[in-house]
A and B are shown apart, each in its own frame.
Chain A
Amino acid sequence: MVLAVKAEGVKIGYIDEEDRVQWAVRGVDLEIGSGDSFCIVGESGSGKTTLANAIAGILPPHAIIQGRLIIDGKLVLDNGRLDFNGVRGRIVSYIPQNPGTSLNPFMTVEEHFYYILRDTKSLSRREARRIALESLMKVGLDQSVLEMYPHELSGGMQQRVTIAIAIASRPKIIIADEPTSSVDANLRAGILKLLNRLNRELGLTLIMVTHDIYSAAAVCNKVAVMLVGKIVEMGEVKALLYDPRHPYTRILLNCVPVLGVKKPLKPLVGEPPRLYSDIKHCPFLDRCPFAVETCKVEPLLEPVDEKRDHVVRCWRFKELKSVEL
């Protein structure tokens, strides 16, 4: 099987005002098979968006990058050398977080499609219009939207238009950055269903970034939990939902409110460590209820059982399995 994305020790940092490098992603190895739906879950500041932007090829030029990233068989990132030509927008496409501010208010929906398709596929206006209509149909919108300006669309329609734009250039990989974070439940269910359908019917590789592990579970079959720039747990969705091993994943699952089930929420106490500090200890040390002396050394990502597809970064995952939070 061809891997859609393969990351080897990817580190991404930004330089702050005091000339320190703030590492947002501190060494990520992952493999995403083509046709998979993969989700990156994490709190804000965990580096999940930076990692997704790296895969989409839209990191800012001042980012400091190390490691190797291979997308669809092409080495796009090799220790600071970037080459996203032919990949960005053609193989990988991106659904932005906030559709309202990502669409150009001066352009109609049809023009959005035209300029993108002209640049990526050098299509004529008429051909672009045909493909625009096709993609809009796929997301459940009709012809009338083509002549509208973004402000004439509702939030849900805007989100659908951005999804349609993302699939118009026929990419193999789609990255959705918090596609449902600011919409209500009605819309959220609709958008997640749509993403699910695109993944299955068009065979797209879907990479979703979110902080809500349950919406992740509704769409994706594999989940990686990120914390302070590193993956702390990764595996099949059901493994993470029903048998979470890392204390952070367990707390994360516990603090999502579920309608109709009034369980007491157990919030996470404390703040994540600041990123410029050189972190040698377990990234969850300060906030973990089970931290011991050994946790001052950072654990490695270890497989939970012989099947090796569920991995966790915790020293005590075996003994903690039966311990209540």
Chain B
Amino acid sequence: MIDIIETANKEALEIIQNGQPTLIGLGIAGEVIPGMAKDLFLHAGPPITWEKMSGPLKGGVMAGLMYEGLASTPEEAAEYAASGKLRFDPCHHHDAVGPMAGIVTSRMPVWIIENKAYGNRAYCTLNEGLGKVLRMGAYGPEVIKHLQWMERVLYPVLKETIEIHGPIDLKIMIAQAVQMGDEVHNRNKAATSLLIREIAPSILKTSFSNEDKIAVLEFLNSNDHTFLNLSMPAAKATLEPAGKVKHSTIVYTMARNGTEFGIRVAGLGKRWFTAPAEIIDGLYFPGFSMEDANPDVGDSCITETLGIGGFSMATAPAIVQFVGGTPKDAVRYTTSMYEITTEESRAYKLPPMNFRGSPTGIDIRKVIETQVLPVINTGIAHKEAGVGQVGAGIVHPPMACFEQALEAFVNLLEDEGLLED
């Protein structure tokens, strides 16, 4: 005999282990994301109002408004955003995820991922590359111009490419990448290379001009983070069905909006447990310091929720040059994540850990009992709108999120009469 929590967690883990995230195509957000509308902007993390948004989120919203043609200057955009004409909702409420600010507007092209084992879908915008980009809160003319190029050239070429190629099994691609030095959150060099190798012949077979094909291949090749916007929805599509398992203490969402960090626990449904987001300990670009940093932001820690990203840092020793620390620290991070997880991934095997599967299935009870917090590696955005990325580093969720969730979980079981006197 085992208790109802163990039974529920076993079911949730089986769902996560069996997930089959598959790239099936591309579409326009307003046409494919459930509930998407012209007056709705999606953002990273738990729910938040314009007034409480941090710099990078506000900057991303302003860029989105100019991209949508709803404002022509940053001042007009800020006024529009504050006017109440625009609605805001988390990406996570619409089967989507977004890196950093995570702003999704109706015109934006998105990847479409389907979990073939359970039929659910997840969506994510295409990665913009590094430098001045919307996801880091930049909104200058070059940001908007690049987004327009992505819509006009990158999107149609990639859409036709995937139609020619057919679906791509992302689980296998991620499994290969984690054996090639990626953890597919802040290091996506191998995964991006694997993707390009897979789709390059199909890009050449599309009906577009050589100039466009070359521009697309050069852009994909210039941006190691191309695959991040596939690893994230792959993780989201894998975890989402587990979020419906009653009485499970497994975390199926971790996300930050730049002001608050939020988690969601399977047995507690769609309820968010939030606390102020932390400042990141990391390496800053020349001329910047912790003083310039915005608190933790982005949906990208959905990778850690699945057990890749920071949880699998041991397999990506080169990443410490980007986020700080030593390869020994990377092994220590991964080792400690087995303390708070339930199983080892059957798919994502880590060579430096003697091919142990990545630590999978964060259990809120274990986090509270051991006081070991999930480890997340992340980019750092400037706290002011319009500046962009200033570094990268390591961060943790606030313990308060897990404490609130545990209390709510015990209250739920008490209310349902499931605790013995």
A binds B: no
Report which A residues bind B (CB closer than 8 A): none
Report which B residues bind A (CB closer than 8 A): none
